[in-house]
Amino acid sequence: MAKTTWGRRETIVWPYHIPIYAYIAAFAAVTLTFVFVCAWIRFATTPLQRYYLPLYERTSVIGAFNKTHRSNYRVLFVAGQGLKPRPAQNTDVMLGRTSEPDGKTIPLALTEDALMHGYTLLLRGPQRSFDDAQLRDYMKDVVYGGASLSAFFRPPLIGGAVVLLILLPFAVRKDVERQKQLRYGRRLKGPEMLTPRQFNRVVKGDGIGLKIDGMRKMLRIGV
């Protein structure tokens, strides 16, 4: 005789319908990661690093796929009377405005340290051809303190991943509950199986207590 099994078998591991809450969690994590990246660029980088960031991103991507590719760039220089122009470094510039002879503006200005060393001019050199991989390596060593592009953005990206790991378990649980409601429907009336903790929360019980065999928590009914 075949064995009869009563009740439903709960086999849901992941909701079959669209996991709305998981998507919301992923969207929230991406949004917060973007905020973290913007805050990182704004508060944890030097003015020269922010200025060179588009160039560093471009040379890093191109240099990773083609070691010999060359592109045209303009590099910042500092110069002074009797001093040979040299590429600007982090200690040479700060946030500010420097006008160029062609009417354009550099969003940087010389620091007091650079002025004390005799440098009085901040200018962009003429456009010239650079090897992308070599320029990337120069930026990495001189401007970004030895940090590759991925290492430079690692802290805010880790922060975004942590947010996703925190939100995802709650989102999965909500999606599973939603899937069960879509499959079995909602309970509108009738008895409901509850644990003592759930029962106490539903009835807001803190009055008469009932001790039931096999239950460690007491059922309480408000008075």
pLDDT at 100: 87
**To 5 degrees, how large is the angle CA 144–CA 123–CA 64?**
35
What is the number of H-type helices and E-type strands within the chain?
7, 9
pLDDT, one tens digit per residue, over 125-173 is: 999 999 999 999 999 999 999 999 999 999 999 999 999 999 999 999 9
Mean pLDDT of 180-188: 68
CB 107 within 8 A of CB 50: no
Q: What is Dmax (Cα atoms) for the chain? A: 104
| Cα distance from N-terminal residue to C-terminal residue, the chain | 52
CB 90 within 8 A of CB 163: no
**To 5 degrees, how large is the angle CA 200–CA 203–CA 207?**
70
CB 99 within 8 A of CB 115: no
pLDDT, one tens digit per residue, over 38-47 is: 999 999 999 9
Tokens 């901040």 found at: 122
CB 135 within 8 A of CB 73: yes
> Which residue type, as a one-letter code, is found at position 154?
R
CB 28 within 8 A of CB 162: no
